[in-house]
Every structure is written in C-alpha cells, then in structure tokens.
Structure 1
Amino acid sequence: MPAERTLHVADSTVIVFPDAAAASRAAADRIARVVAEAVPARGKAILGLATGATPERVYDDLAARVKAGSLSFRDVVSYNLDEYYPIQPLDPLSYRYYMHRNLFSRVDLAPNRAHVLDGTVPESAAADHAAEFDRWIEADGGLDVQLLGIGRNGHIGFNEPSELSPAEFAALPTRMVDLHPITKADAVREFGSAEAVIPRALTMGVRQILAARSIIMLATGPKKAPVVTQALKGPITASLPASLLRTVADKVVWLLDEPAAAELG
C-alpha cells in the first residue's frame, strides 16, 4: 500500500492517505495528541467535534483507545458543531443521538462536559441559547482542536454559502440558519425523503471555528474532490465557506484520502 504524501497547496498543509481508514486514524492520532498535551498544561482539553459519516471512523478509533486504556476523556470538554432545529435529543436523526451512539456512550466523558446545541429550546430563546454556547466555549478558553468535515457546497458546520464579505462571514457567531438546498438534498439519505428533512439548524459560528488553536479538516471519497480543490485553489469567499480556512492556514491540516485529493494534481 502506498505511503501518505504531504502537499503544500496555497500555504495549506495537505496530507493525502491511501484510504479513508488511514486518514481517519491520523485524525484520531492528532486528537489524542491534543488531549495528551492540553490536559497536563491546562487541566483540560477542549474538543470541537463534527458529525456525519466521515468522522465515524475517528470516533471508533478514539473509543477503542479509551477501552484499551491508552486515552481518557475524563478531563475533556466537547462542543459539537451543530444540531437540527427543532429536534428531540432522543430522535435517532438528532446529532445529540449520533454523538451518544458514536462516542459519548463509549468513552469516559462526563455528561455535563459534552455540549451539543439544543434542538428543543423555544424559538424565542434560540438566539440566547446560541450566544450562551459561545460564552461557554470562551469561558473554557477556546477550542484546542476543531474536527471538521466539508459539505459538497463547502459548508463547515452548517455555516452555509453566503453573499457576505469574507471578513463579515468570519465574524459570524453561533446562530440559527436555514439549510442550503444542497445540504437538504444530501440529508435525504438520512431523513428518507426531501419533505422530511428539517430545513433549519443551530450551528457553531465561523468565528469560533477559525479561533480554534488547531483545525483538522477530514475529507474522504471522490464526491468531495471537487469542493476540496475549490476550497484550496479557488478564491477565498463566503460563497465557499471552507475556503476561509486558508486565512488561518498555519493551524489547519487537511487530511484526505486519495479519492478526495484526486483533483489537486
């Protein structure tokens, strides 16, 4: 099997792995390293976590390390990127349920340290809840690492394509959003039909994501190749949110499998 290779694209570090399993293992390695370094230094590690199909292997790997005794989440605090709105936490389609199934129930993370935006808050209180989420992150000292995936439209979290300037977009806080048509189309796989897709969500803001001390962008599979190339080689624009990662390129690593990197050259 060919070894990984490192590319430097538009000042961004891109590491390409032979397959998705190897890329996911590398993401887990980096998260475990953050925990190992942050806990002795600050008494806790603050992790920003993602959902979807791409990170599932990462969570499997981290859970296996906890089971084996080589990693502990006892001093970890986590903040998830997003949640559909409105949705109950026990709904199998909620991201709270996803995180419980894939990670929280499998590691020694205290329930009161596992933060997911609440899809049950009254709509009149949603803005206050989002602002409180930002305050919690800031009170914890910010994110040590943010794990990201990339949508086919370039979204990060549910920060969807926008007509804002890059500076305005980069300053967006945690908030309620309307999902982009491509995002809704991709969600049909989980929801079963276009009519069943919940059209709104709460998402961590771009400001918090870009402020993380380190950022891991994990992208796998051939469907991600066009948007990965656009994000790394096209203009930096809010119409392709992931392109803004290049404004903080010194603290971002792109972990790709060969199919996702196919159009980078």
Structure 2
Amino acid sequence: MNILSFNSKEELDQHAAGLFAGLLARNPQATLGLATGSTPTGIYEKMIKMHQQGKLSLKEATTFNLDEYVGLPPEHDQSYAYYMNKHLFDHVDARRDSIYLPNGMALDLDAECARYDQLLAEKPIDIQLLGLGHNGHIGFNEPDDSLRGGTHIVELQEETREANARFFASVEDVPAKAVTMGIGSILKADTILLVVKGADKAEIVKEALTGPITTQCPASLLQTHAKVIVLLDHEAGRLLDL
C-alpha cells in the first residue's frame, strides 16, 4: 500500500488526475472505475482541464461506476448518472456506449446486478477510484457481519443517508436502497485509488488502513489488495505516521 499525503486538496486532485492521464497515455483503451460524491469532484475538474489541454482523452476508454440509487431516474439531479454527466462526461470525449452505471430503475434488480457483473467480467477494471465513508463503507458496501462479492442491492444505513442528506431537501428524500458493485468486484481491479479528504475522516482512515481486517469496516479489506494507492490531504492523514 502506497500512502501519500498532500498539503492541499488542489495538489491531491492534480496528482489523482495525473494518475488517470498517465494510465490513458499508456493504454488508451483502459477501463476506469469511477466514483461519485464530494471527494472526486476536484479530480474530475482537473481531468476536464487536462482534456481541454489535450493531455487526457477518454475516447477509447471504458468506464464503470460503483453504484446508483434505487428509484432515481438518470435525469434526477441527485442520481449518480446525472452527477457523472455534470462533473465529467459532458465535458470530455468519452463515448456514451462505453459508459456503464448500474440501473437503479430496473424492473428486475437482481437481473440488473447479474448484467453488471457480466459486463465487469468482460472488461476488467484497470484502476478503481474510491472514496471512504465515515463508517468505512466503500461504494455502498456498508458494515455488516458479511459482505457480498458481486453487484447487489443494499439497504443504506441511517448514518450513510444522513451523510448524503446535504444533497437532498431532507434525509427522508434520500433513497433507502442502492445498487452497488460488491467488495469482490472492487478487489478485482488491477489498481485501487483510495482518496480521502478532511479531518472528519481521520479516524476511519486510521482504522481502515492500520486496524484489523473486518467486514465491520469494509475499507479494511483493501489491506489485502496488492496494489493500493492512498491519497490523503493533511487533515485526513493526521493520525497516521507519515
């Protein structure tokens, strides 16, 4: 595990965007695993700028997103499909037929999970971007006595819904379920890029990276992966000996 700490979010975002640009320069047909939420927005801004400067192209790449809310159509302004269009896809040259997100509106959600797993099997992820939830969740894999390997439906914990309520009118408007890539699928990525920002994440960062490996802290399973890059701002990494 390669852990890097940055004095500013600006430097962190630039470094992360550079990792994507470097991979795409070496392999234009790379498969990228992408994430949503507040953590990646600065990274996507840097990627857009690099694209405008001719330093990054998604024209031949494939992208997979980690998750999507159940019950939100793609045009809903809090769906992750909407988020990805707003923060990245509408501003770069990614081909629409090479962009994959779980369909939270599918009539048969179990079939949708199987479809997504089949797509992931056909196009293995080269680099998977992850954020980190306050309770240690990655994707929407919440702490539990056991964790699912493949794409599945998850009941969102109240803590997670409350954390996401800032994007909605109220916590009651936050969907109770999501479709998420499973831990097994995440760990199949060749490289995992974990990005964490903010002092409020410092304790869970320490637990995830240095604590026992347990399903009660899903991110701790990243310790079992051979190629993890962790990018922290100074505040998120303040409890680690870096």
Normalising TM by the smaller chain, what interval? over 0.9
Q: Could you tell me which residue of structure 2 aligns to residue 16 of structure 1?
A: 5
Which one of 178, 189, 198 corresponds to residue 221 of structure 1? 198
Work out which of the residue numbers 97, 115, 118 in structure 2 matches 1:135: 118
Give how far 1:133 is off. Answer: 0.7
Q: 2:220 aligns with which of 211, 222, 243?
A: 243
**Residue 63 of structure 1 contacts residue 107 of structure 1 at CA under 8 Å; is this kept in 2?**
yes
Report if the CA contact (8 A) 2:8-2:233 is conserved: yes
Correspondence 1:192 to 2:172: no
Which residue number corresponds to residue 27 of structure 2?
38
Match for 1:97: what amino acid?
Y
Deviations 1:55-89 (A, max 9, x none): 00110111111111111111110000000001110
Q: 1:192 Cα shift?
A: 2.2
Give the structure 2 partner of residue 158 of structure 1: 140
| 8 A Cα contact 1:153 1:227, kept in partner | yes
Q: Tell me the secondary structure at the aligned position of residue 261 of structure 1.
A: coil
Uncovered stretches (5+) of structure 1, i.e. residues with no partner: 1-11
Q: State the 1:180 CA deviation.
A: 1.3
Q: Supply the distance in 2 between the matched residues of 1:185 and 1:35 (Cα, whole angstroms).
A: 36
- Other-structure match for 1:182: 159
Which of the numbers 86, 96, 117 marks the counterpart of 2:71?
A: 86
- Does the Cα contact within 8 Å between 2:31 and 2:63 map onto a contact in 1? yes
Match of 2:231 in 1: 255
Instruction: Kindly provide the amino acid, as one letter, of the partner of residue 51 in structure 1.
Output: T
For residues 193 and 100 of structure 2, the distance between their equivalents in structure 1, rounded to whole angstroms, comes to: 19
Question: How far, CA to CA, are the matches of 2:232 and 2:111 in structure 1?
Answer: 37
What residue in structure 2 maps to residue 211 of structure 1? Answer: 188
Letter aligned with residue 36 of structure 1: A
CA deviations over 1:24-52 (Å, ceiling 9, x no partner): 1111111111111223xxxx110000000
- Identify which of 54, 67, 78 aligns with 2:39: 54
The aligned runs of 1:45-124 (5 Å cut-off) are: 45-122=30-107
SS at match of 1:146: strand
Give the deviation of 1:21 after TM superposition.
1.4
SS of 2:164's partner is: helix
Q: Deviations over 1:92-126 (max 9, x none)?
A: 0000000000000000001111111112111xx11
3-state SS in 2 of match to 1:109: coil
Distance, in Å, in 2 between the alignment partners of 1:202 and 1:133 is 10
- The 1-side partners of 2:27 and 2:187 are apart by 19
Q: Which amino acid aligns with 2:236?
A: A
Structure 1 residue runs of 4 or more that deviate by more than 3 Å after TM superposition: none
Query: SS state of the match for residue 195, structure 1?
Result: helix
Distance (whole Å) between structure 2 residues aligned to residue 36 and residue 215 of structure 1: 18
Query: Which residue of the partner structure matches residue 149 of structure 1?
Result: 131
Normalised by the size of structure 2, how large is the TM-score? 0.97
**Letter paired with 2:164:** A
CA distance in structure 2 between the partners assigned to 1:62 and 1:207 by the alignment: 28
Distance in 2 between the 1:69 and 1:24 partners? 18
Distance 1:239 1:33 in 2: 34
Is residue 21–residue 55 contact of structure 2 (8 Å, CA) maintained in 1? no
Equivalent pairs, count? 241
For the 8 Å contact 2:69–2:104, the answer to whether it is kept is: yes
Contact 1:20/1:221, CA 8 A, preserved across alignment: no
What's the RMSD between the two structures over aligned residues?
1.0
